[in-house]
Every structure is written in C-alpha cells, then in structure tokens.
Structure 1
Amino acid sequence: MSARDAALHFSKILTAAGHKALFAGGCVRDKLLGHEPKDYDIATSATPEEVIALFPGGNEVGAHFGVVICKFHGEAVEIATFRTDGSYRDGRRPDSVTFSTPAEDAKRRDFTINGLFEDPESGEIIDFVEGLADLESRVLRAIGNPAERFQEDALRLLRAVRFSTRLGFSIEGKTLSAIREHAGLLEKISPERIRDEFSRIITGPNRRKGIELLIDTGLMPFIVPEFLATIGCEQPPEWHPEGDVYTHTCIMLEMLQPDAPLDLCLGVLLHDIAKPPTRTFDEEANRIRFNGHDAMGATMATEILQRLKYPNSIIEAATTMVARHMQFMNVQQMRTAKLKRFMAEPTFEKEMELHRVDCGSSNGFTDNYEFLLAKAEEFAAQPLIPAPFVTGRDLIDMGMKPGPAFKEILESIQTEQLEGKLRDRDEALSLAHQLAEKSE
C-alpha cells in the first residue's frame, strides 16, 4: 500500500458520495517534477463533518480550518475542505475560514507551484494560478500579492528559501523583494517552527545556497544572528587562502555529502562561530589568532541551539563537534590511550567529516585525516575501549574507599591497558595494589 493508493482510496469514496476530490499541493508538484511524493493531500468540497461521516476514524486535528487526517493501511492522508481564509492577525493562522471553491482555495496558498490540483481519476492537472508555467520555468512565485502571502504566515519567508534551494528554482523578483521587505515578520514565529524550516534548509543538497539566501534576504538575523559576524572576519591567509570565516564555512557546507545529518550540518555551521569575538592580532608573530574559539564556540553553539529548541541529543552532538574540532591538529602527537579515547567519542565519524571539509576548504592538508584513517584500520580488530581489567568493585574489595584517588587509579590502569602494557587481569590487579599503596 503506497501513499498514493491510500489517497486514491479516499478520493474514490468522496467522489462516490457526490463530493469533488482533488489531489492538492506538494504531491502534485513533486509528481510533475518527477519526484515520488512522500505524502498526499486531498482538497474536497466535503465539509469536515461530511468527511468524518464517511471516514469515522478520521482525526479532526484542524477541523476548524477544514482539515481532517484519515488513515488507510497505515498511510495518513490530509483531507481539507476547499476554503477561503479570513484575516491573519497573528501572522500564523487565519482568524476564520469560509468553505469555497477549488479556484478560491488555490488563491489562498503560498506559491504557484504549490497551488496546483490533480484529478485523481483522469490525471488532469487543474491550474488556477499559472503554476505549470512556473514549474516549467523553474521559478518560485508567490500567489497574488507576495506581501499579503507573507503577512498571512511569516513562515512562508523561510519556506521560500527552502523550496528555492531544494528544488533549484530562482525566486521571482517581486517575491524576493517582498521577502527582504518583510523579513522582520519572522519575529512573530515560534522558535520551533523556525527551527524546523531551518533544519530542512541546512540539510538540503544546496545548503550553501540556502545559507547565502538567508543572508541575502535578511532572514538570518532572526535565526542565527551570531553568524553575521563571520562575514568579513578575516583569517591568516597562510592557513585560510579562501578568505573570511563566512566564505570558509559556506565552502565547508557545500563540500559535505548531500545526505549529511542535521547534527553534522549544524556542527559545520557553528564550528567557527566564536572566531569573531576571539579574534586578536599577534604583533610579535604578525598574524591573526583566534585563541580559545573552540571552547567559546561550544558555549555559543549550545546557547544558539537551545534558543532554537533543538533536542538535547542534537545539541550535545553538534557542540561536541565544535568543542573538539581543533584537537585534530594534535592527533599524531597523542599517546595511544589518549588517541583511542579521542576516537571512541560517539560523534567521531562525523567529526572526521567535519575535519575533512575544514581542511579541504582551507589549507588542503590531509595528513591528520589520513593518519586517523590508518589508525582506525589498525585498531579495528578490537574495541577501542575494551572491558576494563579492573573495576571500582575490585578496588573496594582491596579496602579502598571511593574518592579522588579511586578515579585516578582506575584511569591509570585503563591507560596502561589501552597502551597494551597490561596483558591480563592479574597484571592489572598487581598494578592496582601498587597504586593503592602509593595513594595511602
């Protein structure tokens, strides 16, 4: 059972009951672009009450706005009554709706490419807003007056950037001007809604273009205003011939794999976020420095991602990458135990990708990256951090009481184990006794 099969099931029942039912919006757009739609929406002449009567299990999540979600064999389909929206005083949702016609319903939507309908039976495309022409021209155009569309729902400002970058469409001139003019409307939008659109932009295959467009349209100050300071923040040319921190970061985003996960994309975006506030000029060495930008960056990244209401798991992963990205320059000098601990971090593989694009976008050095690849192969036969030969229980059985020395002894024994200097538990216990005696 596909999403389309479920949508056809509902549309046939609606039609048989005497109602008009059309596929609407993104599913029509995606099909015409040759993409498999992820989900299907149906626009219908049936009222929510009539929809519920036909599909008693429907969920009236938005019945006030004419929206009912119905499921068939696990596939959810949104069924919405043709409507005309009233005023949008909160910049998010209409104060009222009036059930109307397909033509009026199309005109209330955001962009022409999202205002198309498809007859499920015949496959005919019904176009009241010249969306087919814009699809053909690969242009993103607001329906009707762009300013009115953005004032109705300011999240459309970010949706414009998302559709433009994900589909590779240019934004029509009047629409683009209206985005710039009304960027401040984003202040009306909750952090959660901004976060969700921003996440789709930064994980898209054209994420660099997305970030550049957020800067160009004036939307970035309402998302990550701290990022603006990277523009014009010059770096030592011997290490960063590509230019300022902003250019460096944009190149890194572009170099990431198309399917790079969200936490990695955020880690790349924010890895040098603290370079502007830590920038100093070393007169003696005649060079720019950013001392401590990794530690400060992790703090700033945490504040930014918390402000945008990201889940703790995403925040922890992204900020770990920011905090540790400068440690890669020292990996060849690390003792084996420290290196294994460094490589055992859950985010290590993503950090490797961050390091790859960090170097590839600047000095081009790959020696540390290649060293770590070789070490990963060398260490592959056994767990990086094997089960310890000695545990806290062993120390307690020896008569020790938990305390600072307790932790130091366990760490010292683990270090020797990771270095390969302890062959078995007996040798580890012997060392534990020696260290315990010294600590008394």
Structure 2
Amino acid sequence: MKFPDYDPQYQIASSIISTLQNAGFKAYLAGGCVRDMVMGTQPSDYDITTSAASADIKSLFKNTVEVGAAFGVLLVIKNGYTFQVSSFRQNAVTPQEDAELRDFTINGMFYDTSTGELFDWVNAKADIEDKTIRAIGNPDARFSDDYLRLIRAVRIASHLRFTIEPGTRTALVRLAHRLLLTSTERIRDEFIRLCESPDAAYGFQLLYETSLLEVLLGSIVDIQEIENYLTVKERVETLLRLIRASQSQDYYLRIASFCFSFLRLNPAPAPLTPGDKDDIIAFLKKFKFTNRDRKSIVAIMENSHVFSRPGRLSRGEQVKLLQSTTISEELEFNRIVNEAFVKSTEGYNHYHSLFSSLSHAEIHPVPVLTGTDLLSLGLKPSKQFSLILSKAEIKQLNGDFSSKEDALQWVKEHYPL
C-alpha cells in the first residue's frame, strides 16, 4: 500500500479528518483514493466519508460548497484544494454499513489517516488482486441505487483494465436500458472520463458488449437505419481502429472518433453530409456538451478531410486553414482516419510540416487591409466588403502583398469605383 505522506493534498485531507474526529465524529478516506493507495498508485483526489451531518461539516469548516446537501455531500475547500466530504449514506449508522451501500467492492475500503488502519469489510483487496469489478452485495440493488453506476462500471474497468464479475455484468446488461433515467450531464461526465482512459478501446468494447452503447445511440439515431450501411459491431471495429491509430487521449479526438463511427450513415474519409452533422449535433446537445465542445468537435470532423489533398489549394489557402483554434486536433484526426482507412498520411505530413515551419505571426498576421482602407478608397459598405477582405487575406498569406500600398493597388485594379 502506498502512503502518500509527501503529498500536500493528502496532508490537508488528513487534517480535515482530524478536525472531524476531534469534534467527536468518525471520518475516513474512502472510495477511489483508498483503492489507488492499495494498488500503489498516486490518487488524483481524496474523498472523505464521515458520521457528521452536513450542518456539522459546515460549522467546522469556513469554506464549503453544497453539491448534494440533500444527500449529505459537500465540498470543503482548504489551502487551494477541494475535497468531497460526504455524510454516511442514508440508513447507514456505522462506517461498515456505509461501505456496504457503495457501488463496487474496490471502492468500498476506508482508511483512517490518524491511526493508519485500513478497513476492508467488502473483500476489496481480493478483487483488486483478481482485477475484478464486483458490485457490493446484490448487483441489481446497487445499480438501482444509482443507474449512473451502469456506465461507471465500464469506465472504471476501462481505466484499470479490470474485468466485470459475471453476476455484476449480467445485472448490468439486464438494467442497461435504465441508464437514461439518470441525468444526461452525469452520463456525459462519465462518457468523457471513459474517452480519456488510457485503454478507451477496451471501454468502448465493453459498452458494446453490455448493451450500453445501443442505449446511448438509440436515443439519437435509428439503429436499423445505420445498420443498412454497417452493423453496430462493424462500427465498433471502426472506432477501435481509430482509437488505436492515435496515441492521444484527447477527449475531443475520442468523441470525434465515436461520432465518425456511429453517427455517420457511412463512416468513410469524406465530407460530412447534412444528415450526419445533424445527428452529431443532436447527440452532443442531448448529453449537454458545452457550446465550445460542440463547435470544436464538429469543426474537427468537418475540416479534417480538406487536408487530404493539399495540391488543390494555394499556399495562402493552406495557411488560412491553419488558423483554426482546433488545428492540432483536425490534423491528428485527418491522420488517424486516413491511416485507418487508406494507409496514407501524405496530406497530414504536408500540413504538419507547414504548421511546424511557420510562426504564430505568420499564420495570424495583422491584416494588411481593413474595412477602413476600403472606405478611404471610396467604396461603399456592402456585402462585397467581406469578400474583398477575405480575398485580400488569402493573398497576404500567399505573400502577394509586400505593403499596404500593394493591397490598395490590388483593390483599385480589381474593384474599381
């Protein structure tokens, strides 16, 4: 077991536990952080469980935020770190009773930082040794407590590369259709964390095998219609090829790969159809992705195909493409799609080399021509303004103008009064 005494976040968590214990309450580290410590890995955060009620927690700590006060869950903010502090679950009087109401055995251990005692009432260490995800007690009851646990089981299995115990897996498949009874925001967050998993390919394979994938898709598209082009199984294989073609764990790329595989009628390295785009946006909206996320993911999918044939564009037009805020992801998505389908990355290599050779100022130069300049020439404001400025920008990026005078002369010659 790894004791992260050197970790300042652990030290602060220990001080919170001491404060609760000194006030007469039971308090322990709980959940994933204890699992990580037992497995010898560094926890990313520390959750605390306590016999104290929400009101007691708020009275003991100056800076708290209610995130689920009805369920006894608060955030305690101390020294710049945030800790989730939860009261024992409903009907739980003892820490063991609280542990037995948690989701999976590997998340059911408690650790007392004051005494150094590890409490494992659910046989978690044996399941960690066997690399097994097992629901605590009755799987149907544990999933019914919170249907988000259905996708969480897959996400944790993917993250740890564990298998799901047969009884737990059977219940998961049986109850998969109830996933959508929980909030879409919570599903989205678990989906993103699965996408960011080092072995996301395994996670998506599990989503398919447990029927959760079809539950997610069926809320957006007609499964029978998309299977007229490729079966869901074939689409899973497409997604796995894309994930394995990239070393990146960027969730924009992973979600773009997911949308490419399942929300396009015909997944192929070609422009999006209007129907494809509508389904992708519908999926991202349903699961409450932010406007920024939606725009970025759609841009990655819409723009990446143009890099495949660089010879069709002038240098200025090529540099213009590099101005996109998601250019790195667009290029990488182009690479993995073409590597997976046509085994050629010629376009990616060209644009990646061009992008690497140019400075930020060369890609985003100060415009040599502005609307004010056009007005000074006597041109009247119109829709033509944007067309002129757009063409002038391409010529500037192409190196055709060496000065503002060159640009003004070009306007006079091509757009006379």
For residues 208 and 2 of structure 1, what CA distance do their matches in structure 2 show? 34
Q: What residue in structure 2 maps to residue 282 of structure 1? A: none
Q: What residue in structure 2 maps to residue 114 of structure 1? A: 107
Check conservation: 1:2, 1:75, Cα contact below 8 A: no
Q: What residue in structure 1 maps to residue 188 of structure 2? A: 195
Shift, 1:274, TM fit: 5.3
Q: What residue in structure 1 maps to residue 163 of structure 2? A: 170
TM-score (norm 1): 0.85
Check conservation: 2:271, 2:305, Cα contact below 8 A: no
Shift, 1:217, TM fit: 0.7
Q: What residue in structure 1 maps to residue 29 of structure 2? A: 23
For residues 29 and 211 of structure 1, what CA distance do their matches in structure 2 show? 23
Shift, 1:254, TM fit: 2.5
Q: What residue in structure 1 maps to residue 401 of structure 2? A: 422
Query: Paired residue for 2:243, among 244, 253, 261?
Result: 253
Shift, 1:120, TM fit: 1.1
Amino acid at match of 1:268: S
Compared with structure 1, are the counterparts of its residues 101 and 321 closer, same or farther at alpha carbon in structure 2 (3 Å cutoff)? same
Q: 1:397 and 2:397 equivalent? A: no
| Runs of at least 5 residues in structure 2 that lack an aligned partner in the other structure | 1-6
Shift, 1:216, TM fit: 1.1
Q: 1:98 and 2:104 equivalent? A: no
For residues 303 and 36 of structure 2, what CA distance do their matches in structure 1 show? 40
For residues 222 and 334 of structure 2, what CA distance do their matches in structure 1 show? 20
Shift, 1:316, TM fit: 0.4
Query: Paired residue for 1:204, among 194, 197, 200?
Result: 197
| Runs of at least 5 residues in structure 1 that lack an aligned partner in the other structure | 84-96, 236-242, 280-288
Shift, 1:128, TM fit: 0.9
Q: What residue in structure 2 maps to residue 331 of structure 1? A: 310
Deviations 1:336-376 (A, max 9, x none): 12111122222111111112211222221122122223322
For residues 103 and 409 of structure 2, what CA distance do their matches in structure 1 show? 73
For residues 77 and 230 of structure 2, what CA distance do their matches in structure 1 show? 55
Q: What residue in structure 2 maps to residue 263 of structure 1? A: 252
Check conservation: 2:320, 2:394, Cα contact below 8 A: no
Q: What residue in structure 1 maps to residue 153 of structure 2? A: 160
Check conservation: 2:35, 2:109, Cα contact below 8 A: yes
For residues 78 and 88 of structure 2, what CA distance do their matches in structure 1 show? 22
Q: What residue in structure 1 maps to residue 86 of structure 2? A: 80
For residues 232 and 207 of structure 1, what CA distance do their matches in structure 2 show? 27
Figure out how many residues of one structure are paired with residues of the other and give that number.
407
Compared with structure 1, are the counterparts of its residues 227 and 141 closer, same or farther at alpha carbon in structure 2 (3 Å cutoff)? farther
Q: What residue in structure 2 maps to residue 88 of structure 1? A: none
Check conservation: 1:273, 1:300, Cα contact below 8 A: no
For residues 401 and 211 of structure 2, what CA distance do their matches in structure 1 show? 60
Shift, 1:156, TM fit: 0.3
Shift, 1:417, TM fit: 2.1
For residues 291 and 285 of structure 2, what CA distance do their matches in structure 1 show? 8
TM-score (norm 2): 0.89
Q: 1:13 and 2:2 equivalent? A: no
Shift, 1:26, TM fit: 1.3
Moved more, 297-306 or 423-432: 297-306
Moved more, 221-230 or 118-127: 221-230
For residues 70 and 389 of structure 2, what CA distance do their matches in structure 1 show? 62
Query: Paired residue for 1:65, among 55, 71, 75?
Result: 71
Secondary structure, in 3 states, of the residue corresponding to 1:77? strand
Mapping of 1:198-347 within 5 angstroms? 198-225=191-218, 226=221, 233=229, 244-258=234-248, 260-273=249-262, 275-276=264-265, 293-347=272-326
Check conservation: 2:269, 2:337, Cα contact below 8 A: no
For residues 340 and 132 of structure 1, what CA distance do their matches in structure 2 show? 55
Deviations 1:99-118 (A, max 9, x none): 50111111110000111011
Amino acid at match of 1:248: T
Query: Paired residue for 1:41, among 34, 41, 47?
Result: 47
Shift, 1:234, TM fit: 5.2
Amino acid at match of 1:426: E
Amino acid at match of 1:434: E
Identity %: 30
Shift, 1:56, TM fit: 5.3
Deviations 1:260-306 (A, max 9, x none): 32222212222354542x59xxxxxxxxx897545543332112111
For residues 112 and 297 of structure 1, what CA distance do their matches in structure 2 show? 41
